[in-house]
Amino acid sequence: MKIGFDHKKYLEEQSKYILERVNNFDKLYLEFGGKLIGDLHAKRILPGFDENAKIKVLQHMKDQLEVVICVYAGDIERNKVRGDYGITYDMEVLRLIDDLRAYDLDVNSVVITRFEGQPATTVFINKLERMGIKVYKHAPTKGYPTDVDTIVSDEGYGANPYIETTKPIVVVTAPGPNSGKLGTCLSQLYHENKRGNSVGYSKFETFPVWNLPLKHPVNIAYEAATVDLKDVNMIDSFHLEKYGETSVNYNRDLELFPVLKKIIEKITGKESIFQSPTDMGVNRVGFGIIDDEVVREASKQEIIRRYFKTACEYKKGQFDKSAYDTIKLIMEQVGLKPEDRKVVIPSRDYSAKLKESAHKSDTCPVVALELEDGTILTGKGSNLMNASAAVILNAIKHLANILDDMHLLSPAILEPIVNLKTKTLASRTPELSCEEILMALSVSAVTNPTAYAAMEKLPMLKGAQAHSTTILSKTDEQTFRELGIDVTCDPEYPSQNLYYAN
């Protein structure tokens, strides 16, 4: 893989600028934009970026910081799911706590934002408290967002309980966007100022990259990733007017800035040090780019992946038509076609060939996979295993130089699994999934040297690209993710089944 980003330089720059902000105050509330851990979007568009770079920045200053996690009660109530992991926001809070502790970071508490006694949220609060996690409940802020006098009063932020913090940096993060991070930070600023403490606010940001051009593919890829939120990149007019310097921000921050500035000034009783949304951010990503062409190409490929993801989410009813129309417009603006992803045409061509030979009307499930050396392999669905499982077996056989006609798994191993699945467990989908096939392979590898040799090649699939002619099951999506394979799908279901889809 060609490298376009200097991870070490980014760590140094970001850490330095955070500490500079801290030095201006007794305490800094640092709102985290984007994913704190496992930022795969940044990793894909900035080759060389460590997906856990942000958590490593914090780990460098772990003795000086504690973490507050915000989650919106409404997201818990409607079982909102985090798309990349396929888990609900309440479960993501638990996962986040575990991961932060694994990095030896101090988790202060969980804040339930806009809490109005919702039943499912109350159950979650009880669960957290009985596991020893401190929980604070913040109601909707009276007067927000226009009535600044009410917002900055005992009826507004003053109605929230004060979160007891002790360290100079308080990181405020969340499972996803619109979780109430900013409101939590401002509420704390209000309480801290009433206590006579000198505190500040900043935002740890990654995208959009303020010092790249507005239409740079990196910034357009951010728009593609947030079409469901309707985020649009814009020139920061406040920054341009104040400093005569062009910088990029996004619509929500620009729309909110005048009110946010007034709130901060009302809380502190003095003029804000921030003259623009860009001023508020600590974002040194742009300074880590060392090969612009590599980053541009990686970003274009990410835009195509986002196109397929949006198309599938629209098919499933998760996204509205405006999101789908927006991603199509983004593709046109950048001059991209779905077929510019190398694995798309091989998968579709093979599927069409199978469909023609079988005289079928339905799409034939096929997955094409591109290895790091450019080799493209395919796998088709069958009565025994699905296309995802087939292509993984074909790929590791290729990497292990095993003949194509040699079977890695004997019927003696597979038949009992199929019988268990269909007869004992009464599954309506007899074909084995990718995960089930890999489990069978690991058992077979104990006594079969060929299977062992193939299984040893699984780590080499990390970074591979794949495309499926049909929407993958959540199980197969998760297996591809765990193997480090970037997979996209055509927005077609593998069968006419409504519930028993693969």
Does pLDDT of 407 surpass 90? Answer: no
- The answer to whether 1 touches 463, Cβ cutoff 8 Å, is yes
What angle do helix axes 292-316 and 321-334 make, rounded to 10 degrees?
150
What are the strands, taking DSSP E only, across 8-163? 27-32, 65-72, 81-82, 87-88, 106-113, 135-137
Is the per-residue pLDDT at 362 higher than 80?
A: no
With H, G, I as helix, E, B as strand and everything else as coil, classify residue 273.
Answer: coil
346/368 Cα distance (integer angstroms): 6
* Domain edges within the chain: 7-213+239-288, 342-489
Query: What's the CA gap between 128 and 348, in Å, rounded?
Result: 48
Pick from 26-40, 231-245, 304-318: least confident: 26-40
**Confidence at residue 319, expressed as pLDDT on a 0 to 100 scale:** 93
In the predicted model, what is the mean pLDDT of residues 321-332?
Answer: 97
Q: For position 172, what pLDDT does the model report?
A: 98
Kind of pairing between the strands at 199-204 and 27-32: parallel
CATH of span 342-489: 3.40.140.40
Q: What percent of the chain has pLDDT over 90?
A: 83
pLDDT-above-70 percentage for the chain: 99
DSSP state letters, 276-323: SHHHHEE--GGGGB--HHHHHHHHHHHHHHHHHHHHHHHHHTSS-HHH
* pLDDT of res. 501: 58
pTM for the whole structure: 0.92
For residue 142, pLDDT over 80 is answered with: yes
Whether the predicted pLDDT of 300 surpasses 90: yes
Across 335-339, average pLDDT: 98
pLDDT score recorded for residue 130: 98
Taking the C-alpha atoms of residue 389 and residue 393, their distance in angstroms, rounded to an integer, is: 6
Nearest alpha carbon to residue 247 among 236, 233, 258, 231: 236
Q: Find the range with the poorest average confidence among 118-132, 381-395, 410-424.
A: 410-424
The CATH topology of domain 7-213+239-288 is dip2346 fold like (3.10.630)
Q: Are 415 and 440 in contact (CB under 8 A)?
A: no
Mean pLDDT along residues 300-311 = 98
CA pair distance 77, 115, nearest whole angstrom: 10
- 33: pLDDT strictly greater than 90: no
Q: How is 314-347 classified by DSSP, letter by letter?
A: HHHTSS-HHHHHHHHHHHHHHT--GGGSTTHHHH
Scored b (16 or more CB within 10 A) or e, 489-501 reads: bbbbbbeeeeeee
pLDDT confidence bin for 359, thresholds 50/70/90:
confident
Statement: residue 502 has pLDDT above 60: no
Q: With bands split at pLDDT 50, 70 and 90, how would you rate the model's confidence at 500?
A: low
